[in-house]
């Protein structure tokens, strides 16, 4: 059976549903398509009587006994089909939750530990959920599980769930894989995957909720590729949709991300305003991680503005949420902020200890760029402490990392210049801090220039 015919039945088939003369399997597929949720395109093509029979239009004049009997038969069949489908989805949801717990408990060995009786829909849901949960803890495993989710989504039976919804599932899985690639800095693969996810979305049911999720992930990739205006525009569409539907928490999340990208674009004041506005909308009890993210971004912006006292106060307010929103990456970034604050407030010995710990932590989780950037923060502190030899070791290792990552020529030259200055005893803490700020700006603005 073709994809088009499964998803959009003909007028003849719709009439046959009303008369109860259609093959039961085909009738079930059409009723699921019409009712869960309603397909506006197909409902608009229904004969007036059938729209009324299925509850899409109010009953007007009294029906004849024959029409009443047809109405009862249609409602009874539709209810039975919807109830059966709903129970199936509930059952698969329970299996998916059990699968997530197995994946959480078994780690990398989790996929092989899933029950053989678990079908592809439940596996797809479990892999996707666990993959997302690992984004701060184990990005490499996140990618692996997202790949499994894609494979399972590709095997889901369109006859059982409807062709359009299966395309939606495949869109979700491919979008999850694209986001996993993005988080692990495989941006070319991320772009290919998200482009495919968009194609699958257009072929599926075009669910608005699914599009909002896809827009958020596309915006994240836009931001990583320094297309900040595009990212903010996508999120503005998400924000307006959420406000229209009174989804205040989700609207707050869209504002939060707009604030982050405004900061990346160098609009610090606007970014702080957007983040403050987002905190008034997000629900701390429902999603403490979102509140944590907004407040942590505020801290990071204040640090980049050298407003260290304000950053320290904000970080103090943030600490209670860390226990609920940790993960190795978040904890490292929290400690990194502490180290930068200590350095900014000339608490150099404490800053040295903290930044050394953070650098080693990023190395352990294979975040080489973050490790190298932390090394520059650390080198500035070491020069301030007159530990020139140690600073030279740190700068040399950082330069090797930056060179391996093929950062911009001007950036590499700036790091090399600081390294040489350190070798001849001419490096200053201020100069190292200028180069570090330049590299942070360069992450978001390829035309940034180092302060001379």
Q: Over 146-206, what HEC string results?
A: HHHHHHHHHHCCHHHHCHHHHHHHHHHHHHHHHHHHHHCCCHHHHHHHHHHHHHHHHHCCC
Looking at the domain assignment, is residue 195 inside a domain? no
> Sorting pLDDT into bands at 50, 70 and 90, what band is 56?
low
Looking at the domain assignment, is residue 441 inside a domain? yes
Asked if pLDDT for residue 249 goes beyond 80, the answer is yes
Alpha carbons 447 and 442: distance in angstroms, whole number: 7
What confidence tens digit (pLDDT) does each residue in 2-39 have? 333 345 677 667 666 655 556 666 666 676 666 655 66
Asked which of 32, 66, 87 is the last residue of a domain, the reply is 87
Looking at the domain assignment, is residue 82 inside a domain? yes
Looking at the domain assignment, is residue 45 inside a domain? yes
Give yes or no for a contact between 95 and 86, defined as CB atoms under 8 angstroms apart.
no
H or E segment and range at residue 243: helix 228-244
Asked which of 27, 58, 87 is the last residue of a domain, the reply is 87
**Count of domains forming the chain:** 2
> Sorting pLDDT into bands at 50, 70 and 90, what band is 50?
low
Half-sphere exposure of 3 toward its Cβ, with a 13 Å CA cutoff? 10
Looking at the domain assignment, is residue 167 inside a domain? no
Average pLDDT, the chain: 84
- Domain extent, residue 366, equals 349-452
Looking at the domain assignment, is residue 301 inside a domain? no
Looking at the domain assignment, is residue 276 inside a domain? no
Ramachandran area for residue 226 (φ above 0: left; ψ -120 to 50: alpha; else beta): left
Q: pLDDT value at position 407?
A: 76
Asked which of 60, 87, 114 is the last residue of a domain, the reply is 87
Q: Residues 29-55: what's their mean pLDDT?
A: 63
Alpha carbons 445 and 13: distance in angstroms, whole number: 57
Q: Residues 37-52: what's their mean pLDDT?
A: 63
Q: pLDDT value at position 11?
A: 66
Q: pLDDT value at position 2?
A: 34
Asked if pLDDT for residue 49 goes beyond 60, the answer is no
Looking at the domain assignment, is residue 436 inside a domain? yes
What confidence tens digit (pLDDT) does each residue in 340-375 have? 999 999 999 999 999 999 999 999 988 898 999 999
């Amino acid at each position: 059976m073709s994809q088009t015919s499964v998803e959009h039945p003909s007028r003849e088939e719709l009439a046959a549903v009303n008369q109860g003369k259609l093959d039961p399997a085909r009738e079930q597929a059409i009723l699921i398509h019409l009712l869960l949720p309603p397909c506006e395109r197909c409902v608009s093509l229904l004969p007036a009587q059938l729209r009324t029979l299925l509850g899409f239009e109010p009953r007007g004049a009294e029906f004849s006994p024959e029409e009443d009997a047809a109405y009862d038969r249609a409602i009874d069949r539709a209810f039975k089909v919807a109830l059966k489908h709903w129970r199936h989805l509930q059952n698969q949801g329970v299996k998916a939750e059990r699968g997530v717990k197995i994946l959480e408990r078994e780690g990398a060995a989790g996929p092989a530990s899933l029950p053989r009786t678990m079908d592809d829909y439940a596996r797809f849901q479990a892999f996707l959920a666990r993959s997302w949960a690992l984004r701060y803890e184990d990005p490499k495993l996140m990618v692996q599980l997202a790949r499994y989710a894609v494979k399972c989504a590709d095997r889901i039976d369109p006859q059982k769930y409807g062709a359009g919804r299966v395309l939606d599932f495949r869109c979700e899985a491919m979008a999850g894989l694209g986001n996993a690639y993005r988080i692990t800095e495989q941006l070319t693969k991320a772009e290919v995957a998200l482009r495919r996810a968009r194609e699958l979305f257009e072929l599926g049911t075009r669910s608005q909720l699914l599009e909002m999720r896809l827009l958020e992930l596309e915006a994240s990739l836009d931001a990583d590729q320094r297309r900040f205006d595009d990212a903010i525009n996508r999120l503005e569409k998400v924000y307006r949709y959420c406000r229209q539907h009174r989804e205040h928490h989700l609207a707050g999340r869209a504002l939060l991300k707009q604030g982050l990208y405004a900061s990346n674009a160098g609009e610090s004041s606007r970014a702080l305003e957007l983040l403050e506005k987002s905190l008034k909308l997000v629900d701390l009890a429902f999603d403490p991680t979102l509140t944590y993210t907004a407040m942590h971004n505020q801290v990071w912006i204040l640090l980049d503005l050298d407003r260290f006292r304000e950053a320290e106060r904000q970080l103090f307010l943030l600490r209670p949420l860390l226990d609920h929103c940790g993960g190795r990456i978040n904890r490292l970034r929290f400690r990194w902020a502490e180290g930068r604050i200590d350095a900014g407030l000339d608490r150099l010995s404490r800053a040295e200890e903290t930044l050394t710990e953070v650098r080693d932590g990023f190395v352990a989780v294979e975040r080489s760029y973050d490790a190298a950037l932390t090394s520059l923060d650390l080198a500035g502190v070491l020069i301030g402490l007159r530990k020139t030899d140690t600073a030279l070791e740190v700068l040399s290792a950082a330069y090797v990392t930056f060179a391996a990552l093929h950062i911009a020529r001007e950036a590499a030259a700036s790091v090399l210049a600081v390294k040489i200055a350190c070798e001849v005893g001419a490096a200053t803490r201020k100069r190292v801090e200028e180069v570090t700020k330049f590299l942070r700006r360069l992450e978001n603005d390829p035309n940034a220039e180092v302060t001379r």
